[in-house]
Amino acid sequence: MSAKRMPDSHLATDRDTTPAWPARVAERWRGIGLSLIVVVATVWLGVTGQLGLYIHPRYFGFTLVMAVLGLAFVVASFFFPALAATEPAARSSRRRLLLSVAGSGVLLVIAAVTVLALPPATLTSATATQREINSGGLDTTEAAEQAATLVGTGDYERLSVKEWVSLLAQSDDPALFADKTASLTGFVLPDADDPDNVFYVARFVVTCCAVDAQPIGVPVYLPGWSNNYSTDDWVEVTGTFTPNPSGTAQASLAVEPTTIDAVEQPSDPYVY
């Protein structure tokens, strides 16, 4: 944008020389349209109990209240006419106007397809492999304390992936884990170093929203596991801990499975 253009563009906001109507329509409805899409999707996810696929439960209330308020504004903006004045930003050339109109249209279509049409989904192993497993996201001390209270009851099968991971983070002494049966539900994630013999029963830990999800998991030793199960399958594994027979995998302990059952993905796939 050249400096010479600026005076015209500023004056243009005053009256008759307002930009062509497609640019005005784009300017007026771009934000409202995108808000409508997000607000509707949020309310729907909230009503159908799937908001947890994207954000931490502590935000549910706030997010839904603001979404309903946003919806009120969106509907109201259809009722009230636009005020005459528009922002003087980038009002210069025809090409720029065209770009703004086209950009708004493309963005609205992309938003409608991805936010409204695509089925909601949990994160997959693609993100898990991109982030190192058991490397963060979990306050292991706090989780281990919770686990310790459960361990006190002797009911090891009630411990979840999260609790086993935090216990394993505290100690990998085989004697501590001997004779303890674990029953774990999670998705199948191949071990990075020994993908043929070891897979993780994995979950994502979410701190704020799915973007900060960190994979955690308990290693399972089963040579040739991929003949029967595929990555991202949800399984329930029962078995006992042994020193990991794999020579290459990092984890020193692994579960030797007695049963592996395919299960449905839980309605709340993340842990917090």
Partner 1 sequence: MHTDRGSIRRVPTGLIVGIVLVALAFTVRALSPAFEGWGLSDRTQDTVTLALSVIIESAPFVFLGILLSTVVQVWLPHGFLLRFLPRQPILRRAAISLLGMFFPVCECGNVPLARGFMVGGFTVPESITFLLAAPILNPITIITTHQAFGFGDGILITRIVAGFVIANVIGWLYSRHPDPDSLLTPSFAASCARPTGAGADHDHAHDHGRPQSKVQTSVDLFARETAVIMPALFVGSLVAALTQVFVPRSVLLALGSNPVWSVLAMMALAFIVAVCSNVDAFFVLSFGNTFMPGGIAAFLTFGAMIDVKMLALMRTTFTTRTLVQITALVALMSAAAGLLLNYVG
Considering only residues 111 through 170, tell me which ones interact with partner 1, judged by CB under 8 A.
111-112, 114-127, 130-132, 135-137
Question: Which lies closer to partner 1 via its Cβ, residue 10 or residue 158?
Answer: 10
71, 150, 151, 169: which one binds partner 1 (CB under 8 A): 71
> Residue 75 interacts with partner 1 (CB under 8 A)?
yes
CB of 13 to partner 1, least distance (A): 5
Q: Are the C-beta atoms of residues 241 and 178 closer than 8 Å to each other?
A: yes
Please say which residue, 178 or 209, places its beta carbon nearer to partner 1.
209
Q: Choose between 58 and 158: whose C-beta lies nearer to partner 1.
A: 58
- List the x/- string, 12-51, binding to partner 1 by CB under 8 A: -xx------x--xx-xxxxxxxxxxxxxxxxxxx-----x
Nearer to partner 1, 24 or 180 (CB): 24
Site string for partner 1, 179-208 (x = CB under 8 A): ----------------------------xx
Q: Is 69 in the site for partner 1 (CB under 8 A)?
A: yes
Instruction: Confirm or reject binding of residue 264 to partner 1 (CB under 8 A).
Output: no
